[in-house]
Chains A and B, each alone.
Chain A
Amino acid sequence: MQHDHEAYWKEVLGLIRNVLIIWFVVSYGFGILLAPMLNNIHLGGYPLGFWFAQQGSMYIFIALIFGYSKLMGKIDEKHGVQED
């Protein structure tokens, strides 16, 4: 049981880390730090950095939560700790 828990928790933390990397890159990276550079590229009428800051990051946040919840379901089942 102890061993299982360690392996399970390691996978969970790995998933959280990956999601947080994307979360950080799209909002703080593209939306803030790199925005001035990305603004040279246009997405329709949007400067790209501005789009990430005021639109894109939010769409990606939604995708991240649903993706996370789906992958967590798989990890739970793999380790047999899902709810009955």
Chain B
Amino acid sequence: MSLQATTYLFVGLSFALYIGIAIYCRAGSTKEFYAAGGAVHPVLNGMATGADWMSAASFISMAGLIANFGYGGALFLMGWTGGYVLLAMLLAPYLRKFGKFTVPQFFGTRYYSKAASTVGVFCLLAASLTYIIGQMTGVGVAFSRFLGVSNSTGIYLGMGIVFCYAVFGGMKGITYTQVAQYCVLILAYTVPAIFISLQLTGNPIPQLGLGSDMAGTSVSLLHKLDMIATDLGFAQYTTHTRISTLNMFVYTVSLMIGTAGLPHVIMRFFTVPTVKDARSSAGWALVFIAILYTTAPAVAAMAKMNLHNTTFNYKIMGNAQAGVEVDHNFDLFAPDSGTLYASRPDWMKRWEVTGLLKFEDKNGDGRIQYYNDKSKNPEFQAKAAAAGWKGNELKVNGDIMVLANPEIALLPNWVIALVAAGGLAAALSTAAGLLLAISSAISHDLLKEKFMPDLTEGQELMAGKISMAVAIVVAGYLGLNPPGFAAGTVAIAFGLAASSIFPALMMGIFSKTMNKQGAIAGMLAGIGITMFYVFAHKGIFFIKSTIFIDSVGGPNFFFGIEPNAFGAIGAVVNFAVAFAVKNMTEPVPADIAQMVMDVRIPKGSKAVDGAH
């Protein structure tokens, strides 16, 4: 069977499975629509959370980012997993006990004001909408790369599939589809990784392979990668930090608290039966996430190794004799060191078509020179110039590290088809979770709580479905016509969640005295300062001509911290402003303080349950 046919078969089967599950799990009540009836087993919820969490970006792009960043890529790994420890201890069990369906609902009740809930809806929509633009473009990219259709056809197809199971199934349908999507995506990620690890190191477990010696030699894979990287003028792989230690530190904090504050993740913990389950479910979620996240650095390093091996004849794969000795004799700067472009492997030809790989023969020798032409090492630059290299000739998009992996490792067609189904599962599952967060904010927090309190259960369910359908159309539209800032959106969503939602939730639980004025002022200040820093670098509402960074102190003016990492600073500002304002305004009512005490103990979670 041809590759195209196999891919269609795998993707078609996976879609049929999702729709089948959706038909089986239709939502009959608002409780099922918003929180899957509060009856999801904690392990299954953990799996669904994993799929919800791991987006097209995690699946397709993360390994490439790590490959580029080297050691510094750890900020994504730690940032996107460490947040679950915070979620499990600081938020999930208490929000479950609180027993409402949405984050703004918590704000509205805990801070006894519609204003707090409105600010909450605003923050939630800002974070979720920016996040979903990234997902919808991801859906389009995944479809077009895997199935060879245009981006827009891909987005229409994706909208159709999500429509089927999200509108009818609500949280219930989404949860069980996400469980299936998790299985598909994790298989798709780990199978090629296992094969590649086996080929390079002889160890079938990628997490161990990354720490092993190259097959048939006594030199470790990471050491070898360090040598190759430095030989080619790149920074040393295992030590290269992201900008600075301080920046890496702050960036990691931002991603961690952003993770804990993302509404579509928090919502998943309303679906388990008890407080106890909410705690363990966060652990299960992290187990399922870590399977992919601990594999990713192995994929990154091994794919990078394979790429260097392909462009320069380092002869690593499948050659037991190619040990250190060969490397020492190998003259990188010899005229025949680069691979002949004419005899490049098939996978390079295939991915050149997509534009993910671009070759330009700058020195006209017909060979590929892939190296760091911006190296600051004068000795290296002198050697490169002497060898007649006229700049890096191969542009590599990081996504290739995952997408082309099965082909680089010469794996059979069914593995390539599986990766396609996995990429689509990752994009669709995250999109569905976000759509649910958006539609429940609209139908429940805005309609039911603010404008039409008389809505009956049935009407609210219908309103939920309609707002879901509208949200899909809006998300699809934004995916088709991405605003100029689409590329930076996911990082901004984390900044928003970190600087507004996380601190407000935490203070709502851990401070009995935090009042509405403090919470609202804190959220606005946190989001305000974060947006200011981001807009200064990237333009007001991401309009390039309005960049004003030079008038406030130049790029990364705040201690060299990059804008994507600024959420942590925003959170600090949020806390500080909230406590300052609290001390100047009237204290919280006694019944709210009592409510906070009730939220802190698990007892009575079933009584609270359903009292919405």
Which A residues lie at the B interface, using CB under 8 A? Answer: 5, 8-9, 12, 16, 19-20, 23, 27-28, 31-33, 35-36, 39, 43-47, 50-51, 53-55, 57-59, 61-62, 64-66, 68-69, 72-73, 76, 79-84
CB proximity of B293 to chain A, nearest CB, Å: 6
Chain A residues, CB < 8 A from B88: 65, 68-69
B222 touches A47 (CB 8 A): yes
CA–CA, A16 to B85, complex, Å? Answer: 10
Chain B residues, CB < 8 A from A20: 85, 89
The interface centre, meaning the residue of B74, B81, B221, B600 with most chain A CB atoms within 10 A of its CB, is B74
Chain A residues, CB < 8 A from B77: 53-54, 57-58
B602 touches A76 (CB 8 A): yes
Chain B: number of interface residues, binned into ranges: 35 or more
CB proximity of B286 to chain A, nearest CB, Å: 5
CA–CA, A45 to B249, complex, Å? Answer: 25
Task: Report if A16-B603 is in contact (Cβ < 8 Å); known contacts: A54-B74, A62-B287.
Answer: no
The interface centre, meaning the residue of B85, B239, B280, B287 with most chain A CB atoms within 10 A of its CB, is B85
Q: Does B597 contact A (CB under 8 A)?
A: yes
B222 touches A58 (CB 8 A): no
Closest partner residue, chain B, to A64 (CB atom): B85
A54 touches B71 (CB 8 A): yes
A39 touches B238 (CB 8 A): yes
Majority DSSP secondary structure for residues of A touching B: helix
The interface centre, meaning the residue of B73, B603, B604 with most chain A CB atoms within 10 A of its CB, is B603
A50 touches B238 (CB 8 A): yes
CA–CA, A46 to B207, complex, Å? Answer: 11
Q: Does B212 contact A (CB under 8 A)?
A: yes
A69 touches B600 (CB 8 A): no
CA–CA, A28 to B249, complex, Å? Answer: 7
Q: Which of B508-565 contact A (CB under 8 A)?
A: none
Q: Which of A27, A36, A59 contacts B252 (CB 8 A)?
A: A27
B82 touches A27 (CB 8 A): yes
Q: Does B279 contact A (CB under 8 A)?
A: yes
The interface centre, meaning the residue of A47, A62, A76 with most chain B CB atoms within 10 A of its CB, is A62
Q: Which of A27, A33, A68, A72 contacts B78 (CB 8 A)?
A: A27
Q: Which of A33, A61, A72, A73 contacts B249 (CB 8 A)?
A: A33
CA–CA, A39 to B238, complex, Å? Answer: 9
Q: Does B174 contact A (CB under 8 A)?
A: no
Chain A residues, CB < 8 A from B85: 19-20, 23, 61, 64-65, 68
Chain A residues, CB < 8 A from B482: none
Chain A residues, CB < 8 A from B150: none
Q: Which of B89, B210, B275, B600 contacts A68 (CB 8 A)?
A: B89
Closest partner residue, chain A, to B603 (CB atom): A81
Chain A residues, CB < 8 A from B450: none
Q: Does B601 contact A (CB under 8 A)?
A: yes
Chain B residues, CB < 8 A from A27: 78, 82, 252
CA–CA, A79 to B602, complex, Å? Answer: 11
Chain B residues, CB < 8 A from A64: 85
Chain A residues, CB < 8 A from B601: 5, 8, 76, 79, 81
Chain A residues, CB < 8 A from B290: 58-59, 61-62
CB proximity of A14 to chain B, nearest CB, Å: 12
CB proximity of A19 to chain B, nearest CB, Å: 6
CA–CA, A20 to B89, complex, Å? Answer: 9
CA–CA, A82 to B84, complex, Å? Answer: 23
Task: Report if A73-B276 is in contact (Cβ < 8 Å); known contacts: A45-B222, A47-B238.
Answer: yes
Chain A residues, CB < 8 A from B248: 32
Q: Which of B89, B245, B286 contacts A19 (CB 8 A)?
A: B89
Task: Report if A66-B280 is in contact (Cβ < 8 Å); known contacts: A54-B74, A57-B78.
Answer: yes
Closest partner residue, chain A, to B201 (CB atom): A45
CA–CA, A48 to B82, complex, Å? Answer: 19
CA–CA, A23 to B289, complex, Å? Answer: 17
Q: Which of B565-612 contact A (CB under 8 A)?
A: 597, 600-606
Chain A residues, CB < 8 A from B271: none
Chain A residues, CB < 8 A from B82: 23, 27, 57, 61
Sort A-B residue pairs by CB-CB distance and give the 7 closest, nearest first: A45-B220, A53-B74, A65-B283, A69-B279, A44-B211, A81-B601, A46-B211
Closest partner residue, chain B, to A56 (CB atom): B294
CA–CA, A28 to B256, complex, Å? Answer: 12
Chain B residues, CB < 8 A from A16: 89-90
Q: Which of B245, B276, B293 contacts A58 (CB 8 A)?
A: B293
A sample of 20 more A-B contacts (CB under 8 A), given A58-B81, A65-B280, is: A5-B597, A8-B601, A19-B85, A19-B89, A20-B85, A23-B82, A32-B249, A33-B249, A44-B211, A45-B213, A50-B239, A51-B211, A53-B78, A54-B294, A54-B297, A55-B211, A59-B290, A66-B283, A80-B603, A81-B601
CA–CA, A23 to B280, complex, Å? Answer: 17
A65 touches B239 (CB 8 A): no
CA–CA, A16 to B89, complex, Å? Answer: 7
Residue interface mask B202-229, A partner, CB < 8 A = 1: 0000011011110000001111000000
Q: Which of A8, A50, A58, A66 contacts B71 (CB 8 A)?
A: A50
Closest partner residue, chain A, to B208 (CB atom): A44
CB proximity of B49 to chain A, nearest CB, Å: 12
B207 touches A55 (CB 8 A): yes
A62 touches B600 (CB 8 A): no
Closest partner residue, chain B, to A27 (CB atom): B78
The interface centre, meaning the residue of A31, A61, A80 with most chain B CB atoms within 10 A of its CB, is A61
A59 touches B282 (CB 8 A): no
Q: Does B274 contact A (CB under 8 A)?
A: yes
Chain B residues, CB < 8 A from A76: 276, 601-603
B603 touches A83 (CB 8 A): yes
Chain B residues, CB < 8 A from A8: 600-601
Task: Report if A61-B84 is in contact (Cβ < 8 Å); known contacts: A5-B601, A9-B600, A44-B212.
Answer: yes
B81 touches A61 (CB 8 A): yes
Closest partner residue, chain A, to B286 (CB atom): A62
The interface centre, meaning the residue of B89, B207, B276, B290 with most chain A CB atoms within 10 A of its CB, is B89
28 contacts between A and B (CB under 8 A): A5-B597, A16-B90, A28-B249, A32-B245, A35-B239, A44-B212, A44-B220, A45-B220, A46-B210, A46-B211, A47-B238, A50-B222, A53-B74, A53-B77, A54-B71, A55-B297, A57-B77, A57-B81, A58-B81, A58-B290, A58-B293, A58-B294, A65-B286, A68-B88, A76-B276, A80-B603, A82-B602, A84-B606
